[in-house]
């Protein structure tokens, strides 16, 4: 049996479901998307902003996860007339990813360093797709400025991604 169709896609950049993005934006106040569709820049080679939403292409998710982790450990510098520049806050990176806790990248970066991992109940229906995704999804949050009471949580796909 050929199982490749169950684990791959010819489309590498599915659009994030609007309700999911809006719910996360309400919480995190995004001001940058380092990998939008049809980008005129390479988000892997530039500095990101304070609050970043990342729905990376399936083909090179590992690089995007590593970059998000690195960016989340970078300060936002603020100018002060008396002392020059000083570190104000860390950057926040929120990623929409397939839930694959069996992978090396999950155990090397996501599991030990994510502030919170939100497993989504049910399969997402990506905008412009006929059917739901063939895989479960998770939201990975790298946020060194906030304490999260629970590292692993589930969110309800059908109730606007509210925490349970």
With 70 as the cut, is the pLDDT of residue 20 above it?
yes
Burial class (CB in 10 A: 0-12, 13-18, 19+), 56: buried
* Domain boundaries of the chain, sorted by first residue: 14-163
**DSSP-derived 3-state class of residue 133:** coil
Q: How many CB atoms lie within 10 A of CB 109?
A: 18
CATH top-level class of 14-163: alpha beta
pTM of the model: 0.83
Identify the band that residue 161 occupies on the pLDDT scale cut at 50, 70 and 90.
Answer: low
**DSSP-derived 3-state class of residue 160:** coil
Asked if 92 contacts 141 with a C-beta cutoff of 8 angstroms, the reply is yes
CA 87/CA 24 separation, integer angstroms: 25
Which of 31, 112, 35 has the alpha carbon at shortest distance from 76?
Answer: 31
Phi-psi region of 11 (alpha: psi -120 to 50; beta: other; left: phi over 0): beta
Q: 79-119 pLDDT, tens per residue?
A: 777 777 766 788 999 999 999 999 999 999 999 999 999 99
Torsion sign, CA atoms 58, 76, 31, 147:
positive
Q: What is the pLDDT of residue 2?
A: 46
Sheet holding 92-98, edge to edge: 51-54, 92-98, 137-143, 116-121, 152-156, 162-163
Residue 96 Cα distances to 5, 25, 29, 76, 86, angstroms: 21, 13, 16, 23, 31
Q: 135-148 pLDDT, tens per residue?
A: 899 999 999 888 88
Q: Which ranges constitute the DSSP H helices of the chain?
A: 4-7, 18-28, 61-72, 104-105, 111-113
Q: 57-82 pLDDT, tens per residue?
A: 988 999 999 999 999 998 777 777 77
Q: Considering the chain, what is the average pLDDT of its residues? A: 84
Identify the band that residue 13 occupies on the pLDDT scale cut at 50, 70 and 90.
Answer: low
């Amino acid at each position: 049996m050929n199982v490749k169709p169950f684990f791959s896609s010819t489309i590498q950049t599915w659009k994030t479901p609007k309700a999911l993005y809006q719910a996360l934006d309400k919480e995190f106040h995004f001001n940058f998307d380092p990998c939008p569709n049809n980008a005129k820049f390479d988000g892997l080679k530039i500095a990101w902003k304070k609050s970043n939403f990342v729905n990376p292409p399936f083909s090179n998710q590992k690089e995007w996860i590593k970059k998000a982790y690195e960016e989340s450990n970078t300060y936002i510098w603020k100018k002060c007339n008396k002392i020059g520049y000083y570190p104000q806050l860390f950057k926040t990176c929120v990623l929409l990813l397939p839930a694959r806790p069996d992978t090396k990248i999950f155990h090397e970066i996501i599991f030990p360093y994510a502030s919170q991992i939100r497993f989504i109940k049910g399969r997402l229906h990506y905008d412009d797709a006929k059917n739901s995704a063939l895989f479960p999804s998770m939201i990975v949050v790298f946020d060194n400025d906030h304490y999260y009471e629970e590292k692993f949580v589930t969110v309800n796909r059908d109730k606007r991604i509210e925490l349970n």
